[in-house]
Amino acid sequence: MTDLQIIKKKIFDEEKIEYLLEQLGCENIKSEQQGQLITAKLPDSIESSNNRSVQVKVRESLSSYIRSKNIQGDIYNLVQYIQECDLCQAKYWVCNVLNYDIIFNDYKPKKDWNEKLHNILKKRQKEFVPSVNIYIPENTLLQYAQIPSYEWWEEGLLCKTQIEFEIGLDGNGGSDKIIFPVRDENRLLLTVKERFTHEFEEHHKDMKYFYAYPYNRQLNIFNLHRAKEYIIDEVYVFEGEKTCMFSWQWGIKNTVSTQGKEISPLQIRKLIQLNCKIIFVFDKDVSIEFFDKYKSQLRTRLSYCILDVDNLFKEKESPIDKGKETFLKLINNINYRFKI
């Protein structure tokens, strides 16, 4: 039984259908057909006339029908329509309203016939860094579960954002690793980056993050394929990929990542070719002296670094570690911007 089915059964057993409809803003909620059908009116913000537009069958499947919109499905489809959200967000909304624990029982790892090869490649990654990145087949991602990470959701990364960045769970080790694809500026797949969850990272301190397939991060700029249409006057350059994800969620989409502190000549060349101001927003422990070694390479493009002169962050904290308000304060305050 999947987690979605478990939640529906719980709603049915606890007779929470009418309460759920109330929380959705439905009105004129009535029980019909000797208790086998619940009908209701859509919220006034959507529709103001049909008192029986919403119909939910009182059974474990919680089949639903929005008559006036001709939308058939189950209770999740009803939530998606009224809340204007996707399936994952609908599931979180239901669990939050009913105070249910969020579970992921619908995930079953697929058999990976190349498991031994992947393990070899993961070990080799420490020793071998390719001089040229090689594309891997798109269907490589089929071995992973395309399910947003609950751990990252708790940190504030919304399901919608996780879906946009293709975040999922490792298909070989259950849900002990969070994954996301790494693509080039043309959206071609280069590798898959994995991270052990907090529960397992204590046992893997030497490789908390790793690439599942050989990859040289110095040859690529992360998130450029998404951000390039938003890069007009300036581009923000971060150390970490996760900073790009949160920045994207908070409406700052002209952002990319070097996937590490050191910046390679090829990465600088790619940034210069964007033909705009380059603004580096690295972690707290990076000073303006750090960028001195890149001055000569950046001389053809107006470049800045943003520094935390007011001590908004602790040592080694990233620009997104204190939330949206502090992040926007950092990048929008001109007094924090220093020319390189």
Q: List, as one string, the DSSP characters of 134-159.
A: ----GGGGGGSB----HHHHHTT--H
The answer to whether 198 and 236 are in contact (CB under 8 A) is no
Looking at this protein, which amino acid is placed at residue 310?
A: D
CATH class of 3-98: alpha beta
- 154 contact partners, CB below 8 Å, separation of at least 6: none
CA 96 → CA 100, 102, 204, 259, 294, distances in Å? 6, 8, 33, 34, 48
pLDDT of residue 127: 47
CATH 3.40.1360.10 fits 224-339, yes or no: yes
Nearest to 163 by CA among 265, 99, 90: 90
CATH topology of domain 115-216: DNA primase DNAg catalytic core, N-terminal domain (3.90.980)
- Residue whose structure tokens are 């639903």: 64
Q: What is the pLDDT of residue 103?
A: 55
Q: Tell me the C-alpha distance between 337 and 70, whole Å.
A: 54
In terms of DSSP bridges, do strands 255-257 and 234-238 run parallel, antiparallel, or are they unpaired?
A: parallel
Q: What is the H or E stretch that residue 79 is in?
A: helix 75-83
What is the C-alpha to C-alpha distance for residues 253 and 308, in angstroms, rounded to an integer?
21
Question: Can you tell me whether residue 106 is helix, strand or coil?
Answer: coil
C-alpha span between 36 and 223 (Å, rounded)? 50
Say what angle helices 3-13 and 75-83 make with each other, to 10 degrees.
Answer: 100
Alpha-carbon distance of 145 to 235, in angstroms, equals 32
Dihedral sign for Cα atoms in the order 94, 95, 96, 98 = positive
Q: How far apart, in Å, are the Cα atoms of 302 and each of 236, 292, 307?
A: 13, 14, 17
Measure the CA–CA gap between 326 and 124, rounded to whole angstroms.
40
State the CB neighbour count (10 A cutoff) for residue 286: 18
**Dist. CA 3–CA 186, nearest whole Å:** 36
Six-digit token pair at 95? 């669990």
> In this predicted structure, what is the pLDDT of residue 111?
53
The CA distance from 203 to 201, in Å, is 5
Q: What is the DSSP letter of 102?
A: P
Q: Which residues of the chain have pLDDT under 70?
A: 48, 102-129, 171-175, 199-207
Distance CA 87, CA 93 (A): 10
DSSP 43: P
The 10 Å Cβ neighbour count of residue 82 is 21
Residue 231: closest CA among 181, 295, 301: 301
Cα–Cα distance, 279 to 233 (Å, whole number): 11
User: For the chain, how far is it from start to end, CA to CA, in angstroms?
Assistant: 57
Please give the structure tokens belonging to residue 7.
Answer: 């939640």
Number of Cβ within 10 Å of residue 175's Cβ equals 20
| Residue spans per domain, the chain | 3-98, 115-216, 224-339
Contact in structure between 252 and 212 (CB atoms under 8 Å): no
